[in-house]
Amino acid sequence: MPEAQLASKVDGSRLTVALGGAWTAETAGDMEPRVASLIAQGGSPQSVLLDFTAVQRLDTLGGTLVRGIEMAFGARGIPVQRAGLSQAAAAIYAEIADGLAEPAPPPAKPKPVIVQGLDKIGEQMVEAGRDLVALVSFFGEVVAAIGSIFTGVGRFRLAAVVNQLDHVAFRAVPIMALITFLIGGIIAQQGIFFFRDFGADTYVVDLVSILTLREIGVLIVSIMVAGRTGSAFTAEIGSMKMREEIDALRVMGLNPVEVLVLPRLMALVIGLPILTFIGNISAITGGAMVAQFYGQIPIDIFFTRMQEEVSQRHIWVGLIKAPFMALIIGLVACIEGMRVKGSAESLGQQTTASVVKAIFLVIVLDGLFAIFFASLGY
């Protein structure tokens, strides 16, 4: 391991700093505190001599450190001289002095904490407003793109829609079925557990089927789709944006909204109701299973009661929400994808934002639908 030496000697009114060994990247970390203490304890001699005679190696890191001594004494108005530099060391030292000749730009002054806080709130309010405008304007673009298909300017891309449908819906069936099955089972278990105290076990059938059909089925599936598909859309479109593929589409006269966004949106709008329907069946099956094995309610009784209690409108209330959820998830995912900038970090941020916003909006929308159907008495 190379080592560096630093010794100082007061010689009348002159301070001689003898440097030796290797002043390189390896030793810079060890030497820095010693240089700092030399500067602090150097006092105010008439002049300073930096003696490089014993220096075997000097690189830019060690050189910058040595230059620190020179600058510190120079700032106190003490002249500093150099002696004993080898030719190579002199070249490096000259390079350093040249490179650092321009003073460092002053660091930006931080604002007071209160101002920073207000700044942040203001920025976020403006950002939220912009989000809303972006959503509306993007929706407008999508509608225009749909219009262009009917007027014959654009083209309907069936292959792309089918391909997306495969990714969005078909491949999602197992995981959606599994999760809704478990949720249905959990609801049934909780229902039986508490209804049993009142001897009202069979009400669990109403609980599971109505809750699932109206709310839980579509909500769980939408949230899963926002996490599974929304994030994928954002990442796909975002990385295409990063690599200028979107610009390439534009210059070829293709509308990115028509080529990339529409097939994805359509696949979602078709796929989400299908997934919701599958999810409903799966959740009710889960509930029936738990009722059978945990609540001793035979399956045939479960379904007979379900037929008595559940009318078709409950199914429609749930399913009608699915395409709207799909639209929200798809729009948010595609907008966030289009907002990705050059860096990998930005891709991560937008993907996170896409999922969080989509889930938030899905829940808000579900609440609005609940109010709507309640006031209709449906």
In this structure, the number of other CB atoms found within 10 A of the CB of residue 325 comes to 28
Instruction: Using the rule CB under 8 A, give the single segment among 21-29, 143-151, 224-232, 311-319 that binds other proteins.
Output: 21-29
Contact pick of 59, 131, 201, 206 for other proteins (by CB under 8 A): 59
Residue 320's nearest CA partner among 215, 165, 226, 206 is 215
CB closer to other proteins out of 44 and 343? 343
Is residue 96 near other proteins by the rule CB under 8 A?
A: yes
Contact pick of 79, 99, 117, 122 for other proteins (by CB under 8 A): 99
- Please, are residues 23 and 63 in contact by the beta-carbon 8 Å criterion? yes
- Please, are residues 260 and 245 in contact by the beta-carbon 8 Å criterion? no
Is residue 364 near other proteins by the rule CB under 8 A?
A: no
Three-state secondary-structure class, residue 294: coil
- Distance (Å, rounded) from C-alpha 187 to C-alpha 158? 40
- Distance (Å, rounded) from C-alpha 35 to C-alpha 71? 12
- Distance (Å, rounded) from C-alpha 170 to C-alpha 161? 12
Is residue 37 near other proteins by the rule CB under 8 A?
A: no
Both structure tokens of 140: 């407008």
Is residue 54 near other proteins by the rule CB under 8 A?
A: no
For the bound state, the minimum distance from the C-beta of residue 106 to other proteins, rounded and expressed in Å, comes to 12
Is residue 98 near other proteins by the rule CB under 8 A?
A: yes
For the bound state, the minimum distance from the C-beta of residue 130 to other proteins, rounded and expressed in Å, comes to 21
- Distance (Å, rounded) from C-alpha 70 to C-alpha 97? 11
Is residue 342 near other proteins by the rule CB under 8 A?
A: yes
- Distance (Å, rounded) from C-alpha 359 to C-alpha 29? 49
For the bound state, the minimum distance from the C-beta of residue 247 to other proteins, rounded and expressed in Å, comes to 15
- Distance (Å, rounded) from C-alpha 258 to C-alpha 54? 72
For the bound state, the minimum distance from the C-beta of residue 82 to other proteins, rounded and expressed in Å, comes to 17
CB closer to other proteins out of 65 and 361? 65
Is residue 85 near other proteins by the rule CB under 8 A?
A: no
For the bound state, the minimum distance from the C-beta of residue 33 to other proteins, rounded and expressed in Å, comes to 9
Contact pick of 116, 124, 137, 343 for other proteins (by CB under 8 A): 343
Is residue 100 near other proteins by the rule CB under 8 A?
A: yes
Is residue 105 near other proteins by the rule CB under 8 A?
A: yes
Is residue 344 near other proteins by the rule CB under 8 A?
A: yes
- Please, are residues 16 and 9 in contact by the beta-carbon 8 Å criterion? yes
Contact pick of 88, 115, 158, 248 for other proteins (by CB under 8 A): 88
Residue 222's nearest CA partner among 273, 284, 287 is 273
Is residue 171 near other proteins by the rule CB under 8 A?
A: no
Is residue 50 near other proteins by the rule CB under 8 A?
A: no
Is residue 39 near other proteins by the rule CB under 8 A?
A: no
> x/- binding map, residues 300-339, to other proteins, per CB under 8 A?
----------------------------------------
Both structure tokens of 233: 């859309």
- Distance (Å, rounded) from C-alpha 161 to C-alpha 183? 30
Contact pick of 5, 16, 47, 60 for other proteins (by CB under 8 A): 60
Cα–Cα distance list, 93 to 15, 295, 303, 328, 364 (Å) = 21, 85, 88, 62, 65
Percentages helix, strand, coil for the chain (3-state, rounded to 5) are 75, 10, 15
Contact pick of 25, 115, 121, 128 for other proteins (by CB under 8 A): 25
Amino acid identity, position 13: S
* Binding residues vs other proteins (CB under 8 A): 24-25, 28-29, 32, 36, 57-61, 64-65, 68, 88-89, 91-92, 95-96, 98-100, 102, 104-105, 341-345
